[in-house]
Amino acid sequence: MTILDRQSAGGASSPELAPLDLTGVDRGQAESWLASMSLIRQFETVAEPLVMAGKIPGGMHSAIGQEATAVGVISALAEGDIVTGTHRSHHVTLAKGLPPREVMAELYGKATGSLGGRGGHMHLADVGRGHFGSNGIVGAGLGLALGAALGSSVGHRGQVAVGFFGDGAANIGRVWEYVNLAVVWQLPLVVVCENNLYAVETPYAQVTGGGDIAARARGFGLPAEKVDGQDVAAMHRAAAAAVQRARAGGGPTFIESLTYRLGGHDVGDRETYRTREEVERWRAAQDPVLRLAAAAQLAGLLSADDVAAALAAAEKAVAEAVEYAEASPFPDPGTLLTGVTATDLRIRSNP
């Protein structure tokens, strides 16, 4: 069932849905957030079966359920600000404004993709649009964001960088080295941990000493808070405060987004590490797209027709993206070495 089907079936009016506080949110914001989150949901929903059909090579990590985190944070940024992501970053990429047809073509490995078909689903980027790259190395994307924040600081460019990573990376040493440097150098960096409760198949609570990622961050001396990651308005408020602090020279902020992926770790995951009932509880009460749709209608910001129109527009955009990717050519094999660099070590028989 797609998000449009659930909306049409009354999903957005379910009494089980947790409420959102939209105080201070105007119609334009609600409309923009819903459009972006619906696009992400539809993109992931359509892309998953394309992986199983062999159209998209290399597997895929869907961000269904985590849309509010990306949209809430990135909507608080200025146009020239910078983001980096993880192996699960379609939501970050689309929220940053990359056209869905370029992203879909990249997943297909086509020449018209955002990186010419060379990056694939785990390595999406568009430096010109401020997306410095998603990354298949756990926790490494935060290092790219740290470098971007350092460059902004040294060059007095006024940009803020946001680095997303998951709860699994919260147990990787390099993540805390990045946080430490950001504090020591007081960099304009917003550190966003997407805690979706599982590091691949391992519950984070079983492998996280102390059991509290935000509390661990506070030990490095920067503001750190937990935020409902299924609430786009809450994420936006937290991110806006962090961005304002960073831009004013106040240094980095750590945000732990309490979120949940409604799908498996990757496409084809049998999900033997959690129960179907757990997933359905989250889907019924915490679906971030339906929570926003319901709250916006309750607050009088959007009508049912507005919501249906947003969801239909997302379906149309993604259908066009698939058509574009299908019709696009693969990269010319003659360009195989384009963009490849190497250092001549002058060893063995090298001249």
Q: What is the CA radius of gyration of the chain?
A: 20
Model confidence band, residue 236 (pLDDT cutoffs 50, 70, 90): very high
Q: What pLDDT score does 47 carry?
A: 97
Give pLDDT tens digits for 76-119.
Answer: 999 999 999 999 999 999 999 999 999 999 999 999 999 999 99
pLDDT mean over 339-346: 80
Whether residue 3 is predicted with pLDDT greater than 70 in this model: the reply is: no
Average model confidence (pLDDT) for the chain?
Answer: 94
Is pLDDT above 70 for 350? no
Q: What is the DSSP code (8-state) at residue 131?
A: B
Q: In the numeric block, which tokens belong to residue 139?
A: 């926790």
CA distance 42 to 47: 8
The pTM assigned to this predicted structure is 0.94
Give residue-wise pLDDT tens across range 9-40: 555 566 689 999 999 999 999 999 999 999 99
Q: DSSP string of 104-130?
A: HHHHHT-TTSTTTTSS-TT---BGGGT
Q: What angle in degrees, to the nearest 10, is found between the helix axes of 100-108 and 304-327?
A: 40
